[in-house]
Chain A
Amino acid sequence: MAKPTGNPINDKLLEIAAQNNISTVWDRFMEQEPHCGFGTLGVCCKICNLGPCRIDPFGEGAQKGACGADADTISSRNLVRNAAAGAACHSDHGRDLAWTLLELGRGHVKDYSIKDPAKLKKLAVEFSIKIDGKGDLKIAEELGEVILKEYGQQEGELTLTKRAPKKQRDNWKKTNVNPRGIDIEVVQAMSRTHIGCDNEYKHVLESAIRASLVDGWGGSMIATDLSDILFGSPEPIRAEVNLGVLKEDEVNILLHGHEPILSDIMVTASQDKELVELAKKYGAKGINLSGICCTAAEVLMRHGVPMAGSFLQQELAIITGAVEAMIVDIQCIMPSLPEVAKSFHTKLISTSPKAKFVGMEHIEFHEKDALETAKKILRIAIENYKNRNRSKVNIPKEKMTLVAGFTMENIFYNLGGSFRPSYRPLNDAIISGRIRGVAGVIGCDNPKNESGLCHAEMVKELIKNDVLVVQTGCSGSACAKAGLLTPEAAFKFAGDGLKEICETVGIPPVLHTGSCVDNTRILTACCEMVKEGGIGNSIDELPVAGAAPEWMSEKAIAIGWYFVASGIFVVIGTPLRVMGSKNVTNYICNEIEPLYGGKWAFEGDPIKAAHLMVEHIDKKREALKLKPLICAKV
C-alpha cells in the first residue's frame, strides 16, 4: 500500500490499485527512497568514462573527480545539462508548431487553419515580414520560414527577446548570455559541459541561463503564440476538473502529453457526427474527451474540455476502469502506463514520431493527414467501449468547476473592460495598494510532496495576502481541484483588497494561463506591466515573484532559470541538485541577484515559501515607494 497522498480521491483509487497489485508512482517512489545522496546533491558526475565519480559531501573522501573536477564544476555542469534538456523540449514543441504553420502556408496541410489572423499579422510584423497585400496563408508560410530559420541562426539575437524591457536585454548582453539562435544554445550547453571543457562554475552556468532564455523568449514563446494563431487565442471559459469528469455512460478518451497539434484536432474529430453515431451504436451516450497534464491545459483553454487530472493522476485515471483510450504524444508520460492498463480494458495509443512506449499501440500522427488519423484513433477508442468491465468501474464523484483561458491579451479586457482595455487597472490596483503584487505559481506535482496540496496551500496563502496569482500546467490543475480558480474563491480565500478587485472585474483571484509553454504569457504580461508604467521600469523592479512548489521535470529547471534571468525571484519546493556545492548554491541563490535582478530560493514548506514571495514583493513595493496596502491587516 502506497503512502497516503493527502488527497482522498487519489487515496481511494490507490486502495483499488493495491487490491489489484498494481504499482503506481507512489509505490515506485517509495521503493526508490532514500534517494541516492550523491545524485540529490548533484555531486555525481557521469559525463566521462574516467568515472562515474562522486564527491564526498561530508568531506572525508574524494573531493575531486578523476579529471580533477570538484563539486562546483560537477554540480554546475549537471544543472546546465538539465536546463538544456528542458529548453530542448519546449523549443522542439515550438519547432513542431512552426513546421505546421509553414506546411499550412505551403498548402500541404488541409486540416488546420489560421484561427487568429490578427495575432498572425502582429507576430509577422514582429518578425519583420511585410504583410501588406498578402493573404493569411502567404504570411503563415513566410512566418514559418523565418521562425524556423531562427532555430538555426548562428549570430545576432532572437526576435522575441526584443519584447523584453531594455534593462533585461542589457543585463543579458553584459553577462554574455543573450541567446544567438535557438538550437545553437542547446548544442553549446552540451559541448561546453563535455569533459575537460568549461569548468569555472559561474561560466559553466552561463550556458544554463543562455539555453533557458532560448526556452522562455524563444521556443516556448513561439509555441504559445503559434498555438494561439493555429488553434485560436483562448478566452475565459468555464469547465470542470478532477477525475469526476469521467462519465459512466460515455466513451471516455483521455488526451495526455503536451502538443496541441494532436489534441486540438482530436477535439474537432470528436464532434464528427459519424463518430458520435458510432459511439451511440456501441451503447454510449456520446464521446467524452478530457485531458491530463499540459495537453489538458491546451484543450481546456481553447475548448473548455474538462481536465481529468494532473501528471501524478495519469495512472489513477486508468484505474477508474472507465477509460476507453488514452492518447499520448510527448513529455511527462509515464512508461508505467501499459503495465497499469493491463488490468483494465484501456487502450493506450502513442502518436508522436518522437516517443514510443513498450506496450502501447503506435499510430503515428502527421500534420498532413491529421483529421484522418484522429478519427482512426477515436474509432479504436469507441470500439473499445464494449470491452468496459462495469464491475471494475470506480469513477470518483469529485469534480470542481473552474474558469480558465486567461491570456496576456484578453487580460486587458478582463481588467479594464472593453471600455478601457489596458493594463492600467492592474497597475493602478497595485499602485493604490489593493493588490500587493502578482505571483506565478506553476510546475509539476511530485510524490515528494503531498500531491498537489502544496500548490493549493501556497496559493491560498498568497491570495489571502492580496497577491494576484497566475498559473500554468499541473499547478493550475491542483488549485482548480481545490476550487481556487472560480470567481467565488475570492470571497472565500482572498484578502480584502484583492477581493474588491475580483468582485469588480468578475475574475477569479487565481488566473489559469495555460500549459507549461504558456509560462511565456506570464513573461509577456510582465513586459506589458512595465510598459504600462508606474510599477517599475524593468521586470526586476515589478512587485512579482514565482514558485514551483512541486517541480520535477527538467523543463521546470529551464523555466525557473528564464524567470530568474529575466529578473524574477523564484522559490522552488525541493532544491535544485546543486546543494553539494556551497559555491554554486550561494551563487544562484544570492550572488546572481545583482546581475539579473532575480534569484533562486529553496523552501519546502508552502506557507513559508509563500511568505518568502510576499516579503520579496513588499521589498519591491518599498523600492518603488508604493503606498501601503489599503486593506492590510494591522
Chain B
Amino acid sequence: MKKIYCNIKKCLGCGSCEIACAIEHSKSRELNKSIAESPLPVKRRKAEFVEESVSISTGCHHCENAACVTACMSGAMYKDKKTALTQHDKDRCVGCWMCIMTCPFGAVTRLREEKIVLKCDLCPDRDKPACVEACQTKSLFLGTLKEFTKICST
C-alpha cells in the first residue's frame, strides 16, 4: 500500500510539510487566509530535529496492526477495509486520548478544546498529499515501501 515515507538523508527539517498540511486542512486552503482563521488550522505532520544535520518529517504510518485502532474504545479509529489506511471518524471520537498514548510514532494530535484527535488522512482530495508536494528537497515520498527502498538505494 502507498504511504508517506521520509528520506532522512534529504530532510532539512524546514517545516514546509507542516505548513502545507495545516493549509490543506484549513477552511480556506490558502496560506494567507488560513492563518487568520479561527480556530487556526492544525497540522498532522511534524518536522523533528533528531541530531546535528539529521531531521525527519513524521506522521501517521498507517500501521498494519495499528495500536491506536486496538486502543480506541469508541471505534473512531479504524482501518479502512478498501484502502488499508488508518482512518479517524471525528464524530465518534470521545477524546479519551488512548490513541495518543499507544501510538509509537507520536502521530496523533490532540485538539484539546474540541476534545477530539486529528491524524494524517493522506489528503483524500488530492492526487499527492500536500506535504509531499510541498517538500522542497523531495525527501517526502508517496509510494510503497519497496518503491521507497529502491529510490533511497539509488
Q: Interface residues, chain A, CB within 8 Å of chain B? A: 34, 36-38, 40-41, 54, 56-61, 575, 579-580, 582, 602
Check if A36 sits within 8 Å of B42, measured CB to CB: no
- In the assembled complex, the Cα of A261 lies from the Cα of B18 at a distance in Å of 49
Check if B42 sits within 8 Å of A37, measured CB to CB: no
Q: Smallest CB–CB gap between A28 and chain B, Å?
A: 14
Beyond A38-B15, A60-B43, A579-B32, 5 extra complex contacts between A and B, CB < 8 Å: A34-B130, A36-B19, A58-B22, A58-B35, A58-B40
**Contact partner, A40, options B31, B36, B42, Cβ 8 Å:** B31
Instruction: List 8 A-B pairs, Cβ < 8 Å.
Output: A34-B16, A37-B31, A40-B31, A41-B32, A56-B18, A58-B18, A58-B43, A602-B32
Q: Does chain A have a CB within 8 A of B23?
A: yes
Check if B35 sits within 8 Å of A57, measured CB to CB: yes
Contacts known (A34-B20, A34-B134, A36-B14); A41 close to B31, Cβ less than 8 A: yes
Q: Which residue of B lies closest to A52 (CB)?
A: B14
- In the assembled complex, the Cα of A57 lies from the Cα of B40 at a distance in Å of 9
**Given the complex, which residues of A lie within 8 Å of B23, measured CB to CB?**
37
- In the assembled complex, the Cα of A60 lies from the Cα of B134 at a distance in Å of 19
Check if A57 sits within 8 Å of B42, measured CB to CB: no
Q: Smallest CB–CB gap between B37 and chain A, Å?
A: 9
Q: Does chain A have a CB within 8 A of B136?
A: yes
Q: Smallest CB–CB gap between B118 and chain A, Å?
A: 12
**Given the complex, which residues of B lie within 8 Å of A579, measured CB to CB?**
31-32, 35
Check if B40 sits within 8 Å of A37, measured CB to CB: no
Majority secondary structure of chain B interface residues (helix, strand, loop or mixed): helix
- In the assembled complex, the Cα of A54 lies from the Cα of B47 at a distance in Å of 13
- In the assembled complex, the Cα of A34 lies from the Cα of B35 at a distance in Å of 16
Quick one: CB contact mask for B77-113 with A, threshold 8 Å, 1 for yes? 0000000000000000000000000000000000000
Check if B31 sits within 8 Å of A36, measured CB to CB: no
Q: Smallest CB–CB gap between A169 and chain B, Å?
A: 35
Q: Does chain A have a CB within 8 A of B121?
A: no
Check if A59 sits within 8 Å of B40, measured CB to CB: yes
**Given the complex, which residues of B lie within 8 Å of A61, measured CB to CB?**
15, 18
Among B22-62, those with CB < 8 Å from A are 22-23, 31-32, 35-36, 40-43
Contacts known (A34-B20, A58-B22); A41 close to B15, Cβ less than 8 A: no
Q: Smallest CB–CB gap between A233 and chain B, Å?
A: 42
Check if B20 sits within 8 Å of A58, measured CB to CB: no
**Given the complex, which residues of B lie within 8 Å of A56, measured CB to CB?**
15, 18
**Given the complex, which residues of B lie within 8 Å of A41, measured CB to CB?**
31-32, 35
Q: Smallest CB–CB gap between A41 and chain B, Å?
A: 7
Check if A58 sits within 8 Å of B42, measured CB to CB: yes
**Given the complex, which residues of A lie within 8 Å of B42, measured CB to CB?**
58, 60
**Given the complex, which residues of A lie within 8 Å of B41, measured CB to CB?**
58
**Given the complex, which residues of A lie within 8 Å of B36, measured CB to CB?**
582
- In the assembled complex, the Cα of A382 lies from the Cα of B136 at a distance in Å of 44
Q: Which residue of B lies closest to A33 (CB)?
A: B133
Q: Smallest CB–CB gap between B58 and chain A, Å?
A: 15
- In the assembled complex, the Cα of A602 lies from the Cα of B32 at a distance in Å of 11
- In the assembled complex, the Cα of A580 lies from the Cα of B32 at a distance in Å of 8
Quick one: CB contact mask for B100-144 with A, threshold 8 Å, 1 for yes? 000000000000000000000000000000100110100000000
Q: Smallest CB–CB gap between B30 and chain A, Å?
A: 10
Check if B40 sits within 8 Å of A36, measured CB to CB: no
- In the assembled complex, the Cα of A528 lies from the Cα of B133 at a distance in Å of 52
**Contact partner, A38, options B19, B22, B32, B130, Cβ 8 Å:** B19
- In the assembled complex, the Cα of A36 lies from the Cα of B15 at a distance in Å of 9
Check if A36 sits within 8 Å of B32, measured CB to CB: no
Q: Which residue of A lies closest to B135 (CB)?
A: A34
- In the assembled complex, the Cα of A60 lies from the Cα of B15 at a distance in Å of 12
Q: Which residue of B lies closest to A579 (CB)?
A: B32
- In the assembled complex, the Cα of A59 lies from the Cα of B19 at a distance in Å of 11
**Given the complex, which residues of A lie within 8 Å of B31, measured CB to CB?**
37, 40-41, 579
**Given the complex, which residues of B lie within 8 Å of A57, measured CB to CB?**
19, 35
Check if A37 sits within 8 Å of B43, measured CB to CB: no
List the 6 closest pairs (A to B, CB-CB), nearest first: A37-B19, A57-B35, A58-B22, A579-B32, A34-B134, A58-B40
Q: Smallest CB–CB gap between A582 and chain B, Å?
A: 8
**Given the complex, which residues of A lie within 8 Å of B136, measured CB to CB?**
36
Q: Which residue of A lies closest to B26 (CB)?
A: A58
- In the assembled complex, the Cα of A225 lies from the Cα of B14 at a distance in Å of 47
Q: Smallest CB–CB gap between B46 and chain A, Å?
A: 9
Q: Which residue of A lies closest to B30 (CB)?
A: A604
Q: Which residue of B lies closest to A582 (CB)?
A: B36
Q: Which residue of A lies closest to B21 (CB)?
A: A58
Q: Smallest CB–CB gap between B40 and chain A, Å?
A: 5
**Given the complex, which residues of A lie within 8 Å of B134, measured CB to CB?**
34, 37
Most A C-beta atoms less than 10 A away, residue of B35, B36, B41: B35
- In the assembled complex, the Cα of A614 lies from the Cα of B9 at a distance in Å of 54
Check if B35 sits within 8 Å of A36, measured CB to CB: no
Check if B16 sits within 8 Å of A580, measured CB to CB: no
Q: Which residue of B lies closest to A54 (CB)?
A: B15
**Given the complex, which residues of B lie within 8 Å of A36, measured CB to CB?**
14, 16, 19, 136
